[in-house]
Structure 1
Amino acid sequence: MLVPFLIMLREGIEAALIVGIVASYLKQTGRDAWMPAVWVGILLAVALSLFVGAGLQMVSAQFPQKAQEFFEAIVGLIAVAVLSSMVFWMRKAARSIKSELHASIDSALSHSTGQASALIALVFFAVAREGLESVFFLLAIFQQSTNNDALLGAVLGILVSVVLGYGIYAGGIRMNLRRFFFWTGLFILFVAAGILAGTLRHFHEAGVWNSLQTVVVDLSHVLPVSSPFGTLLSGMFGYQDMPTLGEVIVYVGFLAISIFMFLRPAGGRETAATASRPTN
Structure 2
Amino acid sequence: MLAPFLIMLREGLEAALIVGIIAGYLRRTGRAAWLPAVWIGVFLAIAAALFAGAALQLASASFPQKAQELFEGVIGLVAVAVLVWMVFWMRRAARSMKSTLHASVEAAVGGGAWALIGMVFLAVAREGLESIFFLLAVLQQSRDAMAPLGAALGVAVSAGIGWGIYAGALRLDLARFFRWTGVFILFVAAGLLAGSLKALHEAGVWNGLQARVYDISHILPETSPLGTVLAGVLGYRDAPTLGEVVVYAAFLTVMLVLFLRPDAAAAPRRHSVRDLT
Q: Please, what TM-score do these two structures have when normalized by structure 2?
A: 0.93
Correspondence for 1:274: none
- Residue matched to 2:41: 41
Note closer, same or farther for the CA distance 1:10–1:81 as it changes in structure 2 (3 Å cut): same
> Aligned ranges for residues 123-134 of structure 1 at < 5 Å?
123-134=120-131
2:208 to 201, 206, 211: 211
1:200 aligns to 2:200 (yes or no): no
Decide whether aligned partners of structure 1 residues 249 and 146 sit closer, same or farther in structure 2, where only a CA change above 3 A counts.
closer
For 2:231 and 2:64, the matched residues in 1 are separated by 25
CA contact (8 A) 2:16 2:162 kept: yes
Task: Tell which deviates more after alignment, 35-44 or 230-239.
Answer: 230-239
- 1:147 is displaced (CA, Å) by 5.6
- Following superposition, the deviation at residue 226 of structure 1 comes to 2.4
Relative to 1, partners in 2 of residues 1:146 and 1:51: Cα closer, same or farther, differing over 3 Å?
same
Unaligned runs of 5+ in 1: 269-280
1:97-112 paired onto structure 2 within 5 Å: 97-110=97-110
2:171 is matched with 174
Counterpart amino acid of residue 125 in structure 1:
L
Q: Which residue in 2 is equivalent to 1:272? A: none
| Displacement of 1:143 | 1.1
Q: CA RMSD in A?
A: 1.2
Residue type at the aligned position of 1:206: A
Return the letter of the residue paired with 1:259.
L
Shift of 1:238: 1.6
- 1:65 maps onto 2:68 in alignment: no
- State how 1:1-280 maps to structure 2 within 5 Å: 1-110=1-110, 114-146=111-143, 148-267=145-264
Larger Rg: 1
1:226 is aligned with what amino acid? T
Amino acid at match of 1:183: W
Post-superposition shift, 1:107? 1.6
Alignment coverage as a number of residue pairs:
265
- Partner letter of residue 34 of structure 1? W
1:86-114 per-residue CA deviation (whole Å, 9 max, x = no partner) reads: 1011000001000111111112223xxx3
Which AA in structure 2 matches 1:2? L
**Structure 1 Cα separation of the partners of residues 143 and 181 of structure 2:** 25
Q: Which letter does structure 2 place at the counterpart of 1:164?
A: I
Letter in 2 for 1:76: G
Q: Provide the C-alpha distance between the structure 1 equivalents of 2:201 and 2:264, rounded to a whole number of angstroms.
A: 40
Identical aligned residues as a percent:
65
Q: 2:268 is matched with which residue?
A: none
2-structure distance, mates of 1:266, 1:146: 37
